[in-house]
């Protein structure tokens, strides 16, 4: 398994008697984009920090980039780029000054040259002298990505990097991430966005500190064993009332609103068919659909056990 960059087993972390991550095991291959999904408070950030040496697990073992996560934390940190949720560079320095400063922190021989290369690669030309605090969310994101890849890390950890960023900026960001992965960089990214999850080579879903499912998008959807029907109709009270009725019906495991439609899912096709037969009314149109990734994750979250105790 020489191409495995992350290989951990039984990771557990507690804070104040509460288990935030419980018995988590996962492997990530070199050059892959691994999506780490889950609701707020699910343990994603805690797991990422254990992987890169910022937190010590209370239990569990493993390696990151071939180094022991318990014994070689400093060696791991020197080889990992970590982009946090919040913009963490200096707001009162320019784009160029921020990158040159980061280059000096990393001990690069030619920080100014490295900064110029990052500016060119990320399309920041013309903004070199703009103060970082005056940048929009999308440009701040590019600057942060440039900073955490300046020292050519072997592993890139991105903790919800596109929160609050417009769709075009997110798309441009992901184009750069795929380019980096194509060059052999391994990327572990946590996200709430389903369209971003679908851009990953492999996914893992964590809820309340437990890893519930992992695999490619196709494997995750197939493994859920969900059957989904979509019903469309008048928006407002009609669909709202229908959603409430369906949620209380035997054979229906999940109802989720999507605009002027509802996704109605279940695991037993016969029971689901019998359930929706009672709701085939004038003005409502029913048709079968392939379960979406969001259907699967809503269902996983519904069945997950809360660890707040």
Tell me the per-residue pLDDT of 34-69, one tens digit each, with 9 for 90 and over: 999 888 888 888 998 898 888 999 999 999 999 999
Q: 214 and 258 share a domain?
A: no
193 DSSP assignment: -
Q: Which residue range is the domain that position 246 belongs to?
A: 225-290
Residues 145, 188: one domain? yes
Is 189 a residue whose pLDDT tops 70?
yes
Question: Does residue 302 lie within any of the structural domains?
Answer: no
Is the pLDDT assigned to residue 308 strictly greater than 70?
Answer: no
Q: pTM score, two decimals?
A: 0.86
Q: What are the residues whose beta carbons fall under 8 Å from the beta carbon of 181, sequence distance 6 or more? A: 31, 32, 33, 187, 201
- What is d(CA 163, CA 182) in angstroms, rounded to the nearest whole number? 24
227-232 vs 261-266, strand pairing mode: antiparallel
**Domain check: are 36 and 137 in the same one?**
yes
Express as a percent the part of the chain with pLDDT over 70: 97
Would 304 be classed as within a structural domain? no
34, 187 Cβ separation under 8 angstroms: yes
Question: Is the pLDDT at 1 greater than 50, yes or no?
Answer: no
Cα separation, 34 vs 45, whole angstroms: 14
Average pLDDT in the chain? 89
Looking at the structure, tell me whether residues 76 and 204 fall in a common domain: yes
Q: Domain for residue 238, yes or no?
A: yes
Same domain, 115 and 259: no
Q: What is the mean pLDDT of residues 220-236?
A: 89
- C-alpha separations of 248 from 18, 160, 301 in Å: 33, 35, 18
- Mind giving me the DSSP string for 4-43? EEEEEEEEEEEETTEEEEEEEEEEEETT-EEEEE--TTSS
User: How is the beta sheet containing 285-289 ordered, strand by strand?
Assistant: 254-258, 261-266, 227-232, 285-289
SS3 state at 18 = strand
Residues 215, 198, single domain; the answer is yes
pLDDT of residue 306: 61
pLDDT digits (tens, 9 = 90+) for 117-131: 999 988 889 999 999
- How many structural domains are present in the chain? 2
Which H/E stretch holds residue 305? none
221, 246, 268 - which closes a domain: 221
Alpha-carbon span 272 to 228, nearest angstrom:
9
Per residue in 238-259, pLDDT tens?
888 899 999 999 999 999 888 8
The answer to the question of residue 307 being in a domain is no
> Are 253 and 212 in the same domain?
no
Report pLDDT for 307. Answer: 52
143 and 12 in one domain? yes
| Total residues found in the chain within this entry | 309
CATH assignment of the domain containing 128:
3.40.50.300
Tokens, residue 244: 């409430």
Domain end: 175, 195, 221, which one? 221
On whether both 139 and 256 belong to a single domain, the answer is: no
Question: In angstroms, what CA-CA distances link 288 with 108, 231, 266, 285?
Answer: 57, 9, 12, 10
Residues 265 and 202 in one domain: no
Domain check: are 216 and 285 in the same one? Answer: no
CATH of the domain at 268: 3.30.70.920
Question: pLDDT tens digits, residue range 121-168?
Answer: 888 899 999 999 998 888 888 899 999 999 999 999 998 887 777 888
* Residue 209 and residue 241 in one domain: no
């Amino acid at each position: 398994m020489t191409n495995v960059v992350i290989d951990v087993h039984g990771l557990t972390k507690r804070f104040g008697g509460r288990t935030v991550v419980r018995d988590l095991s996962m492997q990530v291959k070199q050059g892959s984009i691994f999506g780490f999904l889950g609701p707020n408070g699910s343990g994603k950030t805690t797991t990422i920090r254990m992987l890169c040496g910022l937190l010590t697990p209370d239990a569990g073992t493993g390696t990151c980039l071939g180094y022991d996560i318990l014994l070689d934390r400093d060696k791991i940190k020197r080889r990992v780029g970590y982009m946090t949720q919040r913009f963490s560079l200096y707001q009162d320095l320019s784009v160029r000054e921020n990158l040159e400063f980061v280059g000096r922190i990393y001990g690069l021989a030619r920080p100014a040259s490295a900064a110029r290369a990052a500016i060119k690669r990320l399309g920041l030309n013309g903004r070199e002298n703009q103060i970082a605090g005056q940048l929009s969310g999308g440009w701040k994101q590019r600057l942060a990505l440039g900073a955490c890849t300046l020292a050519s890390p072997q592993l890139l950890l991105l903790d919800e990097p596109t929160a609050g960023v417009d769709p075009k900026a997110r798309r441009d960001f992901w184009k750069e991430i795929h380019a980096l992965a194509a060059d052999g960089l391994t990327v572990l990214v946590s996200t709430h966005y389903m369209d971003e999850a679908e851009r990953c080579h492999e996914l893992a879903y964590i809820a309340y500190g437990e890893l519930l499912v992992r695999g490619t998008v196709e494997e995750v959807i197939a493994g859920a064993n969900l059957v989904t029907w979509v019903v469309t109709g008048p928006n407002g009270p009609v669909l709202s009332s229908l959603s409430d009725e369906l949620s209380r019906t035997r054979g229906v495991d999940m109802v989720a609103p999507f605009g002027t439609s509802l996704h109605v899912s279940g695991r037993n096709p016969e029971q689901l068919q019998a359930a929706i037969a009672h709701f085939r009314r004038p003005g409502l149109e029913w048709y079968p659909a392939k379960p979406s990734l969001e259907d699967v994750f809503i269902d996983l979250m519904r069945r997950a056990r809360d660890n707040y105790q």
